[in-house]
């Protein structure tokens, strides 16, 4: 799909949305530019930097053949843009494809990306202004071929949902947990609940992209996923489902004896669902 740009929508209740337009525009004429319409821009994420007062966007930048394998960075004074594109890099000198950013409670932000032909994930902190990576990096889930990372935190524990690597076809999600964001990370199993077995093994025919908390309802989140349409990628859709952290884990560690100490991560299938009324009161 040709790059058009990064669009932005805003909402006060996650139900009614306003189209804020294109906040990072594509490059029409300069074929050497990262954002030329013939290239690839995926998985944009924006975080706010309290030190600089800037909104910083990180994104997957690639060519049509997925050989560039880089991250791009853009910055703006407002979440609705316009964003100024600063350039791209291979973080820590490695390939980067599916990626996300995570901002911790202490204000430190991290980049997490699939690398080494998507055989492992890399994670490392960003600089204080969020415009670059620091040298510190850890390899996690080595040899497990996971992508599409989506991180969140609950009661001091870090959680992550990942996807397998099957192109545009859906596959089984896995939940992971760690006491330190830099690892080690343990795999907890498939978090999907509801529907038939095939539906669960295909992550409800979707792929993880982000997890957002519901403020005021501890342990409650929204799992956000892409439902790709390989025949017409521009017509791909989104799947949002409730994600709950709680209850005992239902399977032991894959390589260690015993069950994890962390509670289970559960993503529940619903054809239709509503946000809890209590969230509207405490938002």
- Residue 189 in domain: yes
- In this structure, the strands spanning 99-103 and 186-189 are unpaired
Which pLDDT value is given to residue 269? 96
Q: Residue 123 pLDDT more than 90?
A: yes
In this prediction, residues 185-205 reach a mean pLDDT of 94
Looking at the 3D structure of the chain, how many domains does it have?
1
The reply to whether the predicted model has a pTM over 0.95 is no
The pLDDT > 90 percentage for the chain reads 84
DSSP E strands in the chain: the ranges are 5-10, 18-25, 40-49, 54-62, 70-76, 84-89, 99-103, 109-115, 120-125, 138-140, 146-154, 157-164, 174-178, 186-189, 192-193, 207-213, 220-227, 237-245, 265-268
- Which domain CATH number covers 168? 2.115.10.20
* Least confident residue range of 91-100, 123-132, 196-205, 255-264: 255-264
- Summarised one tens digit per residue, pLDDT across range 155-174 is 999 999 999 999 999 999 99
- Residue 124 in domain: no
Domain that holds residue 251: 144-283
- Residue 132 in domain: no
Which pLDDT value is given to residue 282? 45
Determine contact, residues 160/151, Cβ cutoff 8 Å.
yes
């Amino acid at each position: 799909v040709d790059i058009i740009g990064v669009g932005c929508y805003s909402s006060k209740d996650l139900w009614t949305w306003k189209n804020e337009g294109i906040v990072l525009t594509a490059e029409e004429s300069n074929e050497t530019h990262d954002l030329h319409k013939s290239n690839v821009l995926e998985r944009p994420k924006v975080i706010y930097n309290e030190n600089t007062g800037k909104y910083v966007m990180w994104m997957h930048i690639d060519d049509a053949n997925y050989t560039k394998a880089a991250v791009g960075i853009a910055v703006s004074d407002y979440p609705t843009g316009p964003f100024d594109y600063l350039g791209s890099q291979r973080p820590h000198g490695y390939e980067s494809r599916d990626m996300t950013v995570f901002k911790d409670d202490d204000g430190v932000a991290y980049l997490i990306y699939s690398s080494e032909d998507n055989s492992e994930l890399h994670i490392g902190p960003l600089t204080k202004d969020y415009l670059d990576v620091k040298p510190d990096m850890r390899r996690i889930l080595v040899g497990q071929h996971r992508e599409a990372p989506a991180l969140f935190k609950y009661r001091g524990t870090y959680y992550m949902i990942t996807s397998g690597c099957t192109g545009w076809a859906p596959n089984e999600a896995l939940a992971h947990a760690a006491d330190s964001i830099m690892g080690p990370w343990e795999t907890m199993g498939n978090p999907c609940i509801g529907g038939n077995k095939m539906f669960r093994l295909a992550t409800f025919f979707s792929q993880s992209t982000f997890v957002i908390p519901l403020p005021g309802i501890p342990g409650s989140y929204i799992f956000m996923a892409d439902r790709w349409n390989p025949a017409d990628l521009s017509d791909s859709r989104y799947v949002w489902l409730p994600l709950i952290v709680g209850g005992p884990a239902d399977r032991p560690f894959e390589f260690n004896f015993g069950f994890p100490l962390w509670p289970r991560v559960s993503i529940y299938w619903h054809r239709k669902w509503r946000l809890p009324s209590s969230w509207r009161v405490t938002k």
